[in-house]
């Protein structure tokens, strides 16, 4: 009886999956079952797929990608994660500009742009051949609308990016002039290359953007959302009218598989063609030896670091922080935890392969120097091997996310390395919300912090633009929204203010160099490494993946051919 009820309930459940708006040629989620009801892998047996080369223009029937979590209705106000959510958003929506594989802004919806001599007015010319997924034409009114909407509906990721816009003028259906309050060298990246443009004719009626349904997830991008089965999958159909290139697959299926190991097992069996999660280092060799599979590696921009609570003794003393930095050996971490698949850290935070780094400082690892510095500071070695500074033993809690294996293993090694210089740490694994509550309560730096040392990391987006770089260190909470270490350094503030007001890229770059040096000097945190991105896929299905530095291959660059 139970079973019967359950069967009825489940068939009802799979029927309720939300469908996309009627105008795009709605497809029912319940496709006719294949003859034997197996987990079909049409790409593998599809004659087109094995002979496919993206350049020839013939497309793959279907590409299945495993993602680790639901991304809600996949529009700019509802998507959930920075990765892969933002990447997937880029499949459905376009921005005025787009970042290429080296993270340089390139034309997208805007075909070209000029900046006035005083660096305050950006004039963009828009394409005239772009169509929304529902058939309406794209024009400058949509751009104006998007800027207004994002400024008004402030829960958006891009609201701070448009904060510097004084006014926007529609000079013709295919051109706009954007006037800024202050010059911003970053403007091309943020928001022009990152902010998705919304359709005015749809979104002017959206009053509750965070709970908006998939029916308003209409963009100009290479794929449109054909169906969305909550918590389970998305079916994205190729946009045959896409003006900026040709989608490589007729359908992209996104399968939500929370456990990475399950996702990789599915990759092995052919149930999926690509997995969005980074491949564990030890699996790289394993996968590469499999004829059907391949792995693409490249620089990853996510950082792993050791954060100090700069407001709490003894970490309020930059010398102490510097001494600890000297005791940490990033190479050991990269070798043991990442099996070599990592990039050595820049103590100034910026990834060496990223668009901003000036490469002026390198990490120093010197145990003797660390010991010497600690001795100098008066931290005497106690009988139990733990130093005593100002009457307090140097024994601290090292917090770490309990659900992040790489971080935990790193914490274990960090703890060992600190033991060697007489600093004892006890590793406390907390689940994410609990740790966040101590390091970044309410995600608001105004609320203070309550920790000694914590393993932390910033997502790739922190590497891409100057204002986010400033947000890490500025003592003014309005600017330093990411300053979770509580650093207060007037010299740093001055440099950051100058950098944000820079008029030219050259000026900005020079200032960034100085800031990197300053960061290395005051060391509010110690960067340990940047984990390389290694992504596995079925080469026999599709082999045209393009690795975008810091982002990986999942995105527009791979799934659209030009």
Partner 1 sequence: MTTTLRRAGLTLGVLLMAVALNFVIPRLMPGSPIRAIAGGGDVGELTTAQRNALLDRYGLNDSLWVQFRDYLTGLVRGDLGTSLGDGRPVSTHIGERIGWTLLLVGTALLVTTVVGVFLATAFTTSRRRNVDTGGMTTSIAFDALPPFWVGMMFILLFGVTLGWLPTFGATALVGGGGVVDIAKHLVLPASTLILTGLGQTYLVTRSSLIAVMGSTHIAHARVRGIPERRLRYGHTLRAAALPIHTLVLLEVGWLISGAVVVETVFAYPGLGRLVFEAVEARDYPLLQGSFLLLTVTVIGANLLADLTYPLIDPRTRVSS
Partner 2 sequence: MTMLQAPPRTGRRRMRRLGLGGVGSVGAVLLSIFVAAAVFAPWVAPFGPSERSGTPFDRPSSTHLLGTDDVGKDLWSLLLHGTRTSLVIGIATALLAIGVGAAVGSTAGLVRGWTDTLLMRLVDIVLALPFLPLLIVASTFAGRAVATQVVLIAALTWARPARLIRSATLEARTRGHVEVAEGMGATRWRLLWRHLSVGAAPLLIPLFLRAAMGAILLEASLSFLGLGDPSRASWGTTLYWANVRSAFLTDAWRWWVVPPGVAISALVVSFGLLGVAIERRLNPSSVER
- Taking the C-alpha atoms of residue 287 and residue 390, their distance in angstroms, rounded to an integer, is 53
User: With binding defined as CB under 8 A, does residue 413 bind partner 2?
Assistant: yes
- Least spacing, CB of residue 413 vs partner 2, in Å: 7
The 3-state DSSP class for residue 209 equals helix
Neighbour tally for 334: CB within 10 Å = 24
Cross-strand partners of 122:
115, 178
- Least spacing, CB of residue 272 vs partner 2, in Å: 14
Q: For 295-359, where are the alpha helices, taking DSSP H only?
A: 318-327, 330-336
CB under 8 A: which stretch of 38-46, 113-121, 241-249, 308-316 binds partner 1?
Answer: 38-46
- Least spacing, CB of residue 286 vs partner 1, in Å: 12
Question: Which residue of 253, 293, 515, 559 would you call a contact of partner 1, by CB under 8 A?
Answer: 253
Which partner from the list partner 2, partner 1, none does 429 bind, CB cut-off 5 to 8 Å by kind? partner 2
Q: Where are the beta strands (DSSP E) in 68-210?
A: 97-99, 105-107, 110-115, 121-126, 165-172, 175-180
Question: Which residue of 165, 414, 471, 559 would you call a contact of partner 1, by CB under 8 A?
Answer: 471
User: With binding defined as CB under 8 A, does residue 282 bind partner 2?
Assistant: yes
Smaller CB distance to partner 1: residue 351 or 363? 351
CB under 8 A: which stretch of 62-70, 153-161, 291-299, 401-409 binds partner 2?
Answer: 401-409
User: With binding defined as CB under 8 A, does residue 284 bind partner 2?
Assistant: no
User: With binding defined as CB under 8 A, does residue 73 bind partner 1?
Assistant: yes
Smaller CB distance to partner 2: residue 290 or 510? 290
- Taking the C-alpha atoms of residue 480 and residue 51, their distance in angstroms, rounded to an integer, is 52
Binding flags for partner 2, 245-264, as an x/- string (CB under 8 A): --------------xxx--x
User: With binding defined as CB under 8 A, does residue 480 bind partner 2?
Assistant: no
**CA distances (Å), origin 252, targets 67, 237, 516, 555:** 12, 6, 41, 12
Smaller CB distance to partner 2: residue 68 or 179? 68
How is 375-438 classified by DSSP, letter by letter?
HHTT-EE-TTS-EEETTEE-EEEEEEETT-HHHHHHHHHHHHHHHTTT-EEEEEEE-HHHHHHH
Smaller CB distance to partner 2: residue 123 or 438? 438
Smaller CB distance to partner 2: residue 406 or 481? 406
Specify whether the CB–CB gap between 29 and 229 falls below 8 A. yes
Helix (H) or strand (E) holding 5: helix 2-15
Helix (H) or strand (E) holding 496: helix 490-500
Question: Which residue of 250, 286, 498, 509 would you call a contact of partner 2, by CB under 8 A?
Answer: 286
Which partner from the list partner 1, partner 2, none does 16 bind, CB cut-off 5 to 8 Å by kind? partner 1
The 3-state DSSP class for residue 192 equals coil
- Least spacing, CB of residue 111 vs partner 1, in Å: 28
Question: Which residue of 119, 175, 232, 540 would you call a contact of partner 1, by CB under 8 A?
Answer: 232
Give, as one character, the DSSP assignment of residue 363: -
Residue 423's closest CA among 453, 456, 457? Answer: 453
Smaller CB distance to partner 2: residue 260 or 299? 260
Instruction: Restricting to residues 288-347, name those near partner 1 by CB under 8 A.
Output: none
Question: Which residue of 431, 450, 506, 543 would you call a contact of partner 2, by CB under 8 A?
Answer: 431
Question: Which residue of 57, 118, 155, 391 would you call a contact of partner 1, by CB under 8 A?
Answer: 155
Smaller CB distance to partner 2: residue 4 or 291? 291
504-513 CB contacts, 8 Å cutoff, 24+ apart: 504/119, 504/185, 505/185, 507/185, 508/185, 508/466, 509/356, 509/358, 510/358, 512/350, 512/356, 512/357, 512/358, 512/466, 512/469, 513/358, 513/360
Instruction: Restricting to residues 124-153, name those near partner 1 by CB under 8 A.
Output: none
User: With binding defined as CB under 8 A, does residue 3 bind partner 1?
Assistant: yes
Question: Which residue of 22, 36, 51, 56 would you call a contact of partner 1, by CB under 8 A?
Answer: 36
- Least spacing, CB of residue 19 vs partner 1, in Å: 14
User: With binding defined as CB under 8 A, does residue 6 bind partner 1?
Assistant: yes
Question: Which residue of 25, 135, 432, 505 would you call a contact of partner 1, by CB under 8 A?
Answer: 432
User: With binding defined as CB under 8 A, does residue 412 bind partner 2?
Assistant: yes
Q: Is the dihedral of CA 512, 351, 551, 442 positive or negative?
A: negative
Peptide bond into 84 cis (omega under 30): yes
Give, as one character, the DSSP assignment of residue 186: G
- Taking the C-alpha atoms of residue 65 and residue 253, their distance in angstroms, rounded to an integer, is 6
471-475 CB contacts, 8 Å cutoff, 24+ apart: 472/349, 473/515, 473/519, 473/524
Which partner from the list partner 2, partner 1, none does 204 bind, CB cut-off 5 to 8 Å by kind? none
Residue 16's closest CA among 214, 272, 250, 256? Answer: 214
Which partner from the list partner 1, partner 2, none does 386 bind, CB cut-off 5 to 8 Å by kind? none
Strands 387-389 and 392-393: antiparallel
User: With binding defined as CB under 8 A, does residue 33 bind partner 1?
Assistant: yes
Residue numbers at the binding site for partner 2 (CB under 8 A): 259-261, 264-265, 268, 280, 282-283, 286, 336-337, 339, 402-403, 405, 408-409, 411-413, 416, 427, 429, 431, 433-434
């Amino acid at each position: 009886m139970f079973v019967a009820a359950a069967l009825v309930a489940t068939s009802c459940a799979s029927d309720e999956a939300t469908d996309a708006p009627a105008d795009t040629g709605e497809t029912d989620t319940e496709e006719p079952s294949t003859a034997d009801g197996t987990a079909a892998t049409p790409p593998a047996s599809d004659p087109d797929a094995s002979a496919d080369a993206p350049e020839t223009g013939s497309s793959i029937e279907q590409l299945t990608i495993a993602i680790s979590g639901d991304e809600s209705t996949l529009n700019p106000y509802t998507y959930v994660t920075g990765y892969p959510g933002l990447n997937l958003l880029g499949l459905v929506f376009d921005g005025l500009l787009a970042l290429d594989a080296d993270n340089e802004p390139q034309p997208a919806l805007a075909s070209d742009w000029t900046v006035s001599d005083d660096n305050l007015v950006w004039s963009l010319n828009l394409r005239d051949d772009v169509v929304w997924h529902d058939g309406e034409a794209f024009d400058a009114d949509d751009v104006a609308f998007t800027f207004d909407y994002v400024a008004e509906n402030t829960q958006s990721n891009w609201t701070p990016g448009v904060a510097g816009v004084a006014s926007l003028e529609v000079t013709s259906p295919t051109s706009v002039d954007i006037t800024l309050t202050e010059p911003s060298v970053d403007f091309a990246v943020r928001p022009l290359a990152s902010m998705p443009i919304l359709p005015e004719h749809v979104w002017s009626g959206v009053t509750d953007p965070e709970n908006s349904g998939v029916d308003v997830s209409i963009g100009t991008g290479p794929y449109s959302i054909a169906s969305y089965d909550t918590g389970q999958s998305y079916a994205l159909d190729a946009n045959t009218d896409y003006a900026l290139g040709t989608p490589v697959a007729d359908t992209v299926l996104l399968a939500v598989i929370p456990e990475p190991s399950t996702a990789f097992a599915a990759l092995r069996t052919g149930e999926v063609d690509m997995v969005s999660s980074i491949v564990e280092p030890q699996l790289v060799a394993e996968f590469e030896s499999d004829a059907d599979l391949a792995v693409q590696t490249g620089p990853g921009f996510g950082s792993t670091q050791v954060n100090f609570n700069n407001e709490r003794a003894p970490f309020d003393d930059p010398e102490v922080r510097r001494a600890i930095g000297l005791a940490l050996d990033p190479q050991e971490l990269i070798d043991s935890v990442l099996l070599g698949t990592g990039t050595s850290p820049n103590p100034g935070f910026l990834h060496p392969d990223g668009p901003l780094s000036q490469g002026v400082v390198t990490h120093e690892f010197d145990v003797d120097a660390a010991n010497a510095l600690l001795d100098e500071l008066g931290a005497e070695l106690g009988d139990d091997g733990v130093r005593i500074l100002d009457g307090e033993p140097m024994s601290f809690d090292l917090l770490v996310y309990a659900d992040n294996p790489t971080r935990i293993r790193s914490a274990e090694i960090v703890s060992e390395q600190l033991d060697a210089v007489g600093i004892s740490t006890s590793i406390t694994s907390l689940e994410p919300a609990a740790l966040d509550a101590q390091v970044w309560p309410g995600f608001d730096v105004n609320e203070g912090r309550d920790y000694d040392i914590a393993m932390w990391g910033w997502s790739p987006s922190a590497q891409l633009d100057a204002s986010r770089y400033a947000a890490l260190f500025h003592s003014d909470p309005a600017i330093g929204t990411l300053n979770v270490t509580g650093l207060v350094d007037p010299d740093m503030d001055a440099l950051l203010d100058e950098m944000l007001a820079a008029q030219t890229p050259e000026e900005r770059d020079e200032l960034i160099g100085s800031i990197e040096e300053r960061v290395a000097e005051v060391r509010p945190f110690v960067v340990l490494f940047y984990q390389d991105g290694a992504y596995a896929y079925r080469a026999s299905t599709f082999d045209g993946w393009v690795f975008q530095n810091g982002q990986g291959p999942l995105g527009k660059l791979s799934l659209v051919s030009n």
